[in-house]
Amino acid sequence: MGRHGGRGWYGRVFAAAVGVTAMAAATSVWTAQAGPVEGRQAGSGVSARPSAPAGSGGAPVSADIVHASDHGARGVNITIDDGPDPAWTPQVLRVLRDNGVKATFCMVGTQAQAHPDLVKAVVAGGHRLCDHSVSHDTTMDAKPDSAQSREILDAERMITKASGGVRPLYYRAPGGAFTPYSRHLAASRGMRPLGWNVDSKDFERPGADAIISTVKNEMSNGPTVLFHDAGGERSQTVAALREVLPWLKQQGYSFGFPVR
């Protein structure tokens, strides 16, 4: 999601979970790169191409931030951030199922750990998983490599365990706080860095009509659309998705996943 002032509500979640955490392209007519701008890199002697840690991981992928859809010029990538959440994720899943749409769920590690049943439900629905860090710290681009590594790798482990062994295929930095180090670390683990083109602004809860209008007006920016299923009350998101998904179909779009 976009930056919303520091750590946001996940700062409190992370404070309670520090002990657990410690244990633990393709072608498209859209060329607008409206995704998040890569942040600065903290520390000295930093390598932009870290070696993959020991242990199993996906085959390395490109470290470039992806926006394109694997459905080509008229493809749309629906991405859902910050969950899973027991109140809102099931409702989002129902709307997606009713419309025959597959999405990419960018999950926060502590949320996945707390709700493994929902992670498994996302996988069972044919959706893809994305690592969205452990604590959703939007200042990660100002942190040392060691802190970035913990956030990314611990979340990867939490999500994979909660899913029953299905690994996240993407990494989306909180608030777009990517660094060269975080991008290459994620890519070395088989997680393509994932940006966005259309921010629905649903995080601000401006009303379902405003969310719908934002998506309709900004689809020319590119194929990857950002929504949220956690971080607050999300009834507006659910209502907006009920209208936006059929509208996109009516406009001749099809739904895919971000290019790997």
| Catalytic annotation, residues | 81, 228
Note if the bond before 86 is cis, omega within 30 degrees: no
Angle CA 169–173–174, to nearest 5: 130
Distance CA 115, CA 111 (A): 6
Closest C-alpha to 131, from 166, 105, 149, 102: 105
* Residue 175: Cβ-neighbour burial (10 angstroms; 0-12, 13-18, 19+): buried
Helices 116-124 and 89-98, axial angle in degrees (round to 10): 10
User: Measured between alpha carbons, how far is 2 from 5 in angstroms, rounded to an integer?
Assistant: 9
Element holding 16 (H helix, E strand) = helix 10-23
Cβ–Cβ under 8 Å, residues 58 and 169: yes
Q: With contact defined as beta carbons under 8 Å apart, do 184 and 41 qualify?
A: no
